[in-house]
Structures are given as structure tokens and as C-alpha cells.
Amino acid sequence: MGGGILNILKDLNLGFAQFISIGNQADVNAETALEYWENEEDVEQILLYMESIANPANFRKLATRISKKKPILALKAGRSAAGASAASSHTGSLAGADKAANALLNQSGVIREYSLKNLFSTAKVFANCPIPKGDRVAIITNSGGPGIMATDAVCEYGMQMAKISDETKEKLRSFLPSAASVKNPIDMIASAPIEHYKQTLETVIADENVDMIMVIYLPFLGLKDIDVARAVMEIKKQYPHKPVIGVFMTKSEFFTALSDMDVNMPFFMYAEEAAEGFHRLNQQRLWINRPEGRIPSYNVDRARAEQIMKQSLSEGRAQLTTRESIDVLDAYGIRVCKSGFATNIDEVIAVGNRIGYPVVMKMTSKTTSHKTDVGGVRVNIQSEEQLVAEYNDLIAKLTEKGLIDGLEGVIIQEMVKGNREMVCGIATDPQYGPMMMFGLGGVFIEVMKDVTFRIAPLTDVDADEMIKSVKAYKLLEGARGTTPAQMNQIQETLLRLSQLVSDYPFIDELDINPLLISEKTGEGIAVDGRIKVRLEEAMEKLNVRAMAAV
């Protein structure tokens, strides 16, 4: 592997400072190498091939610091999600070993690549380009089609097409033919001589509205690709402060010739590769400018949460009931539905009348986990009479199915009106520890899979990024006239969950699904909750002994 990599680096005209093969990592591991290379002046970027991360917490600490100084690129192999299917919660089944690794690398500022080809393409970009000041890209081309494809690629990576200034356009018009387009992408047309490449690049690179430039060349009219490349590099040498990437759709001999030259900018065959290179540069820029974030500490009722968990443990139950789960969330200051617990018809009526209609009724059972499968959730109950009828029907159905013995009672909750259902939760990876999840919830969670993961503990910046990174974020902003969600309150919910799992690391899985966004207030309200612990570990930590069966 090492020998192959060194040969590839030579072909790509990439120099290397040091090469370490760490084998089975019995002594030296990736973290040791990172720390050693942090202050080595001749190491400008760090490339890692990893099959495992021995100490995720230490890796995160080191990589977060070092990646602010120099880019860290990682090819993390072993992406199978074996074991995820055995999880009982939504969060658990959507998680998996690779999602944990991905979350860790993301939070550490490490740029992850999925192939050696991409790893070295990105390395080539960082070796020859400064970090840009922004994400505004200008495209210079001698053919319209590739310019349009390049524009698509730039926009798909979430970057902006630079708005060329009027002054720059005027200067371009002074020497380009009338058929040329001076809007971005700048199309010099097929007849463009080498001089036009030089003048256009020199003019565009000086525009303050432009942060990065893609120069596209297709062979026309007897121009030699290597001569055009030399001319472009000549201008780049005079303006080293902005990234320039060449896209030369020409013969492979051109790239072979480049490997023996002293180049000062990367060249690719296709525009999509150049756009990805700009995306990586921009990713590093955003990471460098990203605030460090802080891990807040909230005042919570630990004694209450602990007492609830101890009760479950004393009965030998790893899975807390719905009521217990919601009460633990409430103890940690997470906004839950106003609710009450009832075990008979008189209590059902009293709780319903105290909360006020409309209400929702949910069964809570020590033996049945997914309530909707057995008709254990009744919504939009408008009156006392309807509540009585629904309760009697539930008891009849559970008796008929032989499930009545596990019934603990019912939870009567306020009916929160809202169509936006989110999910947040915790899943534990055996190696990486607790992972936080956030995304689109409801019954289609495992179909849509619009969720994101981060390793706990979360900083406020992590929580903010989680919320903004899912597609459903547009729903939270208030699409189609809906009440905008209280982003700060949702962020706080994630941070309080992070504190909960930090306080009780034996929590194995936790789901809040749905976290319903109130149409009235925009609050995220925990309508349902499920908590599962690792029984033996929890009993040891909380010093609980299971009750002996009599």
C-alpha cells in the first residue's frame, strides 16, 4: 500500500515530507502521528488511511486543534453498518459504525474521502492552492457547454457563482471578440488565442468579487495544451493569493508531461473534479473560521431522574416505560407535553379534565414497545365522553390480544397541534460511544432517513450545525406560512440530551419521536420518549440490586 502511494504521489507531482506505516498500531497510532506532525514545518497537509480509530475522544481533541493549522484528509475504510439492524430504537437502527466515524471526522475538521483517487485529487488542490477568502467562483472557458456544466457543479456544492464587476466586464470587452460572453461563466469562444487566456485570467483574478477561478481549455485551432497551461501558470505566479484550477479536456499525454514540470496550480480532466477541489478548499475555510463552541451545563433535577431509573433497574428492566422516559426528559428540563398518568377510568377522567381538551391518550406497557402497532395511541380526543369510550375500547383490544397483563396504565397528554415532526435521540456505538441524532421524525423516519449524527458531548456549535444540516431545516424556518420553530429551544433540547448521556453514559438508546413543532408557539415538544439502558452497567453505576422474584 505504502509503495503504491509513493508512486502515485510522484505521478501527481505531489511532494511528501514523511511517510509512516503504523501496522497494527501496537505502539504508534494515527493520533501519535498527528501530534508529531502538528508542528513539523515541512508537513503542509496530513493524509491518513485508517481502518479504525483506537481512541475516538483523543483523536477528536487532537484533530480539532491540528486541522485548524493544516488540512487533514482521511480515507477511512470499513464502512459496513453491520449490527445496526439489531437495534431496537429508530436512532439505533439509523446509526451504524460508519455514521459514528463520519460524525467524529466531521466534528474534528477532518476532510473525509472515500477513495484513493479522491484523496490524492484533494491533496493536489491543497498542495497548490491557498485557502480562499470566500466561496465565489469565476469560470473562464473557450467552450460554452463545459462552462455550463462547471456552473452546475459549483452550485451543487453550495458555492456561489461570482458576480463579475462592471469594471471587469468593461475591461474584458476591450479585448475579447463581440461574440464572447463576459458574464460568469466567461466564454472567450473557441477562437481564443493564448493571449486571451492570459489577459482574461489577469483581469478576473484582480476582481474583488472573485475568490476562486476555474480555467477551462478544450483543444481548438492548433493551440498546444501545454503552452496554454504554461501561460496560465505564468499569470498564477504573479497572483498567488487566489486559488486557480485548470480543467484541460485533452489527451492523457498532457497530464504525463505535467508530472515532470514545476507546477503552481492543479489541473484536472473534468470540471466536476475542479468544483470538488474548490468545495474542499471552502470546507477548510469554513472550518478555520468556525467558532470553537462550548459545552453548556444546565441546572437539572438529577435526583428525580436517578430515582426513576433506579425503579426500572430494581425491577430488572433495561427499557424504561414511556411514562418513565418522559419523566426523565422532564427532569432534565426538556419541554414535554403536559400530561398525567392514570390506571383506571376515574383517574383517566380526572387527568383529562385537569389538562383540558383536546387530549391524546397513550398506553404505557412494560412488555409492548411500539404502541401504534397495537392501537395504543388515541389522538384528538375532544371531550370526557370520548375519552371514556376510547379508554374502554383500548382495554377491550388489549384483552382480546392477550396484552393486558403488561399494561401499566395510560398517559393523558395535551394535544399539541402541528404538522412538523422531528426526531432526536441517542445511540451508543461500541467504539465511539454515545451518538446524538437529529432530523425529520414521525412514522416515515426510517424511510426518509433525513437525519444527522454527532458524537457526544455536543457543543452549541455542533447542535446548531445538526439542525441546519438536515433538509427538513426549511420546514423549521417556517415554509408555507407555518410558524417558525424556536431554533434556540430545539438547540437547547439537543444540548440537554447531550448532558443527560454525559451524566449517565450507560444510556444505550434514547428516542424522542416525535419532537413536535407547535404551530402555536414554534416550540419543539417531546410528545413521546423511549429510553433503554445497559442493564448491568447501569445497576453497577447506580448501585442497584434487582428485586428477588417471590
**Quick check: 227 pLDDT over 60?**
yes
How high is the pLDDT of residue 27? 87
Amino acid at 137: V
> Quick one: pLDDT band at residue 549, thresholds 50, 70, 90?
very low
Measured CA to CA, the distance from residue 263 to residue 285 in angstroms comes to 23
Report CA Rg, the chain.
29
Asked if the model's pLDDT at residue 94 lies above 60, the reply is no
CA distances from 269 to 62, 126, 200, 245, 414 (A): 36, 17, 21, 11, 60
Range in 238-247, 451-460, 473-482 the model is least confident about: 473-482
Rounded average pLDDT over 488-498: 97
The answer on pLDDT for 99 being more than 90 is no
Evaluate if residue 424 carries a pLDDT over 50: yes
CA distance 194 to 224: 9
E strands within 284-406? Answer: 339-342, 359-365, 377-381
What is the structure's pLDDT at 83?
Answer: 41
What are 318-334's pLDDT values in tens digits?
A: 999 988 999 999 999 99
- Give the pLDDT of residue 85: 46
Stretch 271-297: mean pLDDT: 97
Owner of C-alpha cell 469554513: 286
pLDDT of residue 87: 47
pLDDT on residue 443:
73
- Count of CB atoms situated within 10 Å of the CB of 530: 24
The whole-number pLDDT of residue 371 equals 66
Residue 90 is predicted with a pLDDT of: 57
Q: Kindly give, in sequence order, each residue whose CB lies less than 8 Å from that of residue 202, ignoring residues fewer than 6 positions away.
A: 235, 238, 239
All structural domains of the chain, each given as residue ranges with its CATH number in brackets, are 2-127 (3.40.50.261), 129-289 (3.40.50.261), 338-415 (3.30.1490.20), 420-538 (3.30.470.20)
Number of other CB atoms surrounding residue 323 within 10 Å: 19
Segment 7-47, tens digit of pLDDT: 777 777 788 888 888 888 888 888 999 999 999 999 999 99
**Per-residue model confidence as pLDDT tens digits over 439-452:** 998 776 777 789 99
Check residue 419 and give its pLDDT.
86
- Count of Cβ atoms closer than 10 Å to residue 457 Cβ: 17
pLDDT of res. 108: 96
Burial class (CB in 10 A: 0-12, 13-18, 19+), 35: middle
Q: How many residues does the chain have?
A: 550
Q: What is the 3-state secondary structure (H, E, C) of 359-391?
A: EEEEEEECCCCCHHHHCCEEEEECCHHHHHHHH
- At 82, is the secondary structure helix, strand, or coil? coil
- Local confidence band at 95 (pLDDT 50, 70, 90 cut-offs): low
- Cβ count near 474 (within 10 Å): 10
In this predicted structure, what is the pLDDT of residue 50? 85
Cβ 150 vs Cβ 276: under 8 Å: no
Q: What is the pTM of this model?
A: 0.84
- Quote the cell numbers at residue 414: 395535551
Instruction: Give the pLDDT mean for 59-66.
Output: 96
Checking if the pLDDT of 266 tops 90, the result is yes
pLDDT band at 365 (very low <50, low <70, confident <90, very high): confident
Q: pLDDT above 70 covers what percent of the chain?
A: 94
b/e sequence 234-264, b meaning 16+ C-beta within 10 Å: ebbeeeeebbbbbbbbbeeebbeebeeeebe
The pLDDT of residue 122 is 96
Q: Is the pLDDT of residue 311 over 70?
A: yes
Say which residue, 314 or 449, is predicted with more confidence.
314
C-alpha cell at 444: 416515515
> Under a CB-based contact definition with an 8 Å cutoff, are residues 453 and 549 in contact?
no
Average pLDDT rounded to a whole number, residues 350-375: 83
Q: Given a cut of 80, is residue 80 above it in pLDDT?
A: no
The answer to whether the CB of 288 falls within 8 A of the CB of 131 is yes
Going by pLDDT thresholds of 50, 70 and 90, the confidence category of residue 515 is very high
